[in-house]
Amino acid sequence: MPPEKLIPLLMIPIMLVIVLLKNRRKRVLKPQLLWVMPAIVLPLIGLGIWGSAQNPNMAHAPFGPDAWAVLAIGGILGGVAGWYRGKTVTIEKQPDGSLMAQASPLGLILLVVLFAGRSLLRDLIESHAAAWHLNALAVTDAFLVFAMGLIVMQRVEMYIRARRIPSGGTDSHVEVAA
């Protein structure tokens, strides 16, 4: 197996341990700051997609409607996965009014499945892109758009739930600490 495929596979268990240790404890949730991560990720992913199109060493055909559809599907699937991952985060209101969030192990399992699936699907789709009449660069970029949708929609879902709490609202994913 070439190093460019082996290194990401070796990084998954390392990242898994780090994230699992980090998610064991509750963290203060500041709903007013949930926009920061999407504000950082959106331009970086946009820059990555733009940069891959500008690479002089890469033959790149302009995106047609089918390539834009692949990007849209990646974004929609990422948004759905992000919404679900956001739902797995438990938000708890403390007696002092502060909010605490704790990621569920289910959300971590979802991420591991998504990354493993991405690694397996990337090879399959890229090797058959020509036969399926897909733009290989659009497929690669769709994985970036998927990640963008996941991050943005997770934060949106958490913000919607966290916003209900100070006004006295609650839902099945929010717990009030006594």
* Closest residue by Cα to residue 106 from 86, 92, 76, 121: 86
The full length of the chain comes to 178
pLDDT mean across residues, the chain: 81
Report the C-alpha gap between 157 and 173 in whole angstroms. Answer: 11
Letter string b/e over residues 4-33, b meaning 16 or more CB atoms within 10 A of that residue's CB: eeeeeeeeeeeeeeeeeeebeebeebebee
pTM to 2 decimals?
A: 0.77
Asked whether residue 113 carries a pLDDT value surpassing 90, the answer given is no
Average pLDDT, stretch 78-106?
88
Q: Which residue has the tokens 């699992």?
A: 20
Q: 126-145 burial, b for 16+ CB within 10 Å, e for fewer?
A: eeebeeeebbbbbbbbbbbb
pLDDT at 48 over 90: no
> 123-164: per-residue pLDDT in tens?
787 777 778 777 777 877 888 899 899 999 999 999 999 988
Name the pLDDT band for 178 (thresholds 50, 70, 90): very low
What per-residue confidence (pLDDT) applies to 67?
83
Q: How confident is the model at residue 169 (pLDDT cuts 50, 70, 90)?
A: low
**Strands, E, within 4-111: which ranges?**
27-29, 90-93, 99-102
Q: Would you state the structure tokens that stand for residue 121, as one six-digit string?
A: 């699907």
Q: For the residues 4-19, what does the mean pLDDT come to?
A: 77
3-state secondary structure of 35: coil
